[in-house]
Amino acid sequence: MINYKHFLVNIIKNNSKIKGIKMILNCFCKDNKLLKVFLEDNTDNNKSDFINQEVNKCDKLKLKLNNFLNGDNVNFKENVDWNLLNLGDFQKKVLFETFKIPYGEVRTYKEIADAFDSKAYRAVGTALNKNPIAIAIPCHRVIASNKFLSGFRLGLKLKKQLLINEGHEIVKDKLIF
């Protein structure tokens, strides 16, 4: 069991650059480090892994998430503790490579795998689908080799809007370069 602070981030179309989307992100953190991010209606939330106890305040982290969702270029480096995430070796490699993708850029699943000499391109997608702290580890910046948007744990609608916020043009779920 992990002691944590739980907070909610509301995404409401009138208060954010996330247009036409209304949802609540559940966020769990400890010592200003993200542990888990998931949608309110996500059945894979594993709340049982956490003890509902406030360890400390994560107000700065909540503000950073809100700023990012409003289109700001936010660095989450200080909010990720790789040792707290309980990742397997392959998933850690995938998420670490994904974490290095700069704001406004994208990579393909193949490019992520190639970065650590793997040919397991589909497994990269599976590892990203299990990203416990989506947004801070920006898996929305990973696309298919044909430039189409594919899979995102928080929903393709949000992935599309996040990429648009970062300056990408998307037509019929395909990035235009």
Positions marked active-site = 139
DSSP result, 110-141 = HHHHHHTT---HHHHHHHHHT-TTBTTB-GGG
Alpha-helix residue ranges (DSSP H) falling in the chain: 59-69, 89-99, 109-115, 121-129, 156-165
Say how far apart CA 41 and CA 63 lie, in whole Å.
Answer: 22
Place of tokens 């929903």: 155
DSSP letter for 13, please.
G
Counting runs of H as helices and runs of E as strands, what totals does the chain give? 5, 8
Q: Residues 69, 37: contact at Cβ < 8 Å?
A: no
